[in-house]
Amino acid sequence: MNILIELIYRTPKGAETVFRSDEMPAAQAVLFAEDMERTGRAKNVVFIDRFDSTWTVKEMKGYLKGIETEPHNVTVYFDGGFDRESRRSGLGCVIYYEQSGKSYRLRRNAPSAELKSNNEAEYAALHLCLQELELLNVHHLPVRFIGDSQVVINQLTGEWPALENSLSDWVDRIYGKLKDLGIQPEYELVQRKLNSEADRLATQALNGVAITATIEVTEKDT
């Protein structure tokens, strides 16, 4: 989770002003906040997350300790492919997360013969990711969802209306799953070349190659 620090700084002569930092990882923000508090010149130190919720230093330290052994800092890449001739779809899902001081990458794909368009395949791929997050026991956390579908990203953020019944049904299904898991979604639209891992998984599913794998990610892999 990325947060920013807000505090009141007081000079030795008593002048005060408010400082607000750039966003940074929560653990790093706690280190900075504790260091500034030790100077005796910082007071009313709070953290603010992307949803404008405020946290005290004590609350943030408790939160970080509580999630240490659970999946956190979760980023999801999704992609769906649809073959018009065969009327079959391939779904690709990649999930990066941290747990117990280590980083992991989960890759999963799945075929489908029940979808009718590429847009539906994109939604189905995102729903597959939500099912995987549920299996990982990811809940009540902010999660980044990254995809290259303008339709899906813009409809889920409310920028575009979902006029087709088939797509509005998917929107409702996604919203319902997010609510059940308590996930606070952050959506990011990227170019296809920046979503190549999920795209490749979707293509492999279309070609009958099943992938389910989780590995630890080290610095040399990034």
pLDDT at residue 173 is higher than 70: yes
Three state DSSP letters for the chain: CEEEEEEEEECCCCCEEEEECCCEEHHHHHHHHHHHHHCCCEEEEEEECCCCCEEEHHHHHHHHHHHCCCCEEEEEEEEEEEECCCCEEEEEEEEEEEECCEEEEEEEEEEECCCCCHHHHHHHHHHHHHHHHHHCCCCCCEEEEEECCHHHHHHHCCCCCCCCHHHHHHHHHHHHHHHHHCCEEEEEECCHHHHHHHHHHHHHHHCCCCCEEEEEECHHHC
Where exactly are the structural domains of the chain?
2-67, 72-221
Average pLDDT in the 11-30 region?
89
pLDDT of residue 112: 95
Judge whether 185 and 145 are in contact, CB under 8 Å. yes
Q: Topology of domain 72-221, per CATH?
A: Nucleotidyltransferase; domain 5 (3.30.420)
- Residue 220: pLDDT band by 50, 70, 90 thresholds? low
Residue type, position 167, single letter: L
pLDDT of residue 69: 83
pLDDT at residue 51 is higher than 80: no
pLDDT at residue 176 is higher than 70: yes
pLDDT at residue 49 is higher than 80: yes
Q: Find the distance separating the first CA and the last CA of the chain, reported in whole Å.
A: 19
pLDDT at residue 50 is higher than 80: no
pTM of this structure: 0.79
User: Which pLDDT tens digit goes with each residue over 145-159?
Assistant: 999 999 999 999 999
pLDDT of residue 222: 53
What mean pLDDT is reported for the chain? 92
Report residue 54 as tokens.
């405020």
Report residue 169 as tokens.
């049904």
pLDDT of residue 52: 84
Average pLDDT in the 134-151 region?
94
Average pLDDT in the 31-46 region?
90
pLDDT of residue 26: 86
Average pLDDT in the 6-20 region?
90
User: Which pLDDT tens digit goes with each residue over 77-117?
Assistant: 999 999 999 999 999 999 999 998 899 999 999 999 999 99
